Amino acid sequence: MNRETNTDINIDSLFAELRNTEPCMQDQGFSTRIVVELEQKAELSFFKDALITMLFTLIGCLLAYAFFPVAELMALLPSSIHISPMSLLTLGGSAALACCAAYWTLDTDRI
């Protein structure tokens, strides 16, 4: 880049030169690699994915049922609950906060 002889470098003309001499990148299998990767991803279809998730969830539930004292834990649950206006407000507030957080997360997760 020792073409410039004056001390002031003209950035605009430097970029103009780059623009005019921009090399054309040969594909050389680049697009093929992408399509192959997409095909590999597509092989695991939505239904297969859902089936695998359900299967493992079921196995997990069975294991949990076999190893944890489910009956004793169930007995710990209260047989009745009292809902006060304050607890309703707290519940509503928490739901609103969770919705705001979800919206914010989705809104800021830009591609």
Partner 1 sequence: MNPSDQALIDAVVKEDSHRAFAELVKRYQSPLRYSLRQLTGWNEALADDLAQETFIKAHSALSSFQGKAKFSSWLYRIAYNLMLSHFRVARNRELTGGLTGREEQSLWLDNHHEEVVSHESLQLHRDLAQSMNHLSEKQRMALHLSLHRECTQQEISDIMSIPLGTVKTLITRGKACLRERLADWKSGDES
Q: What does the alpha-carbon distance between residue 38 and residue 35 come to, in Å, rounded to a whole number?
A: 5
Residues 85-104 touching partner 1, rule: CB under 8 A, are none
Q: Which is nearer to partner 1, 11 or 77 (CB)?
A: 11
Least distance from C-beta 76 to partner 1, angstroms?
A: 43
Q: What does the alpha-carbon distance between residue 21 and residue 59 come to, in Å, rounded to a whole number?
A: 61
Q: What does the alpha-carbon distance between residue 104 and residue 111 come to, in Å, rounded to a whole number?
A: 15
Residues 15-44 touching partner 1, rule: CB under 8 A, are 15, 17-19, 21-25, 27, 30-35, 37-39, 41-42
Is residue 29 left, alpha or beta, with left meaning phi > 0 and alpha meaning psi from -120 to 50? left
List residues near partner 1 by CB under 8 A. Answer: 1-2, 4, 7, 9, 11-12, 14-15, 17-19, 21-25, 27, 30-35, 37-39, 41-42, 110-111
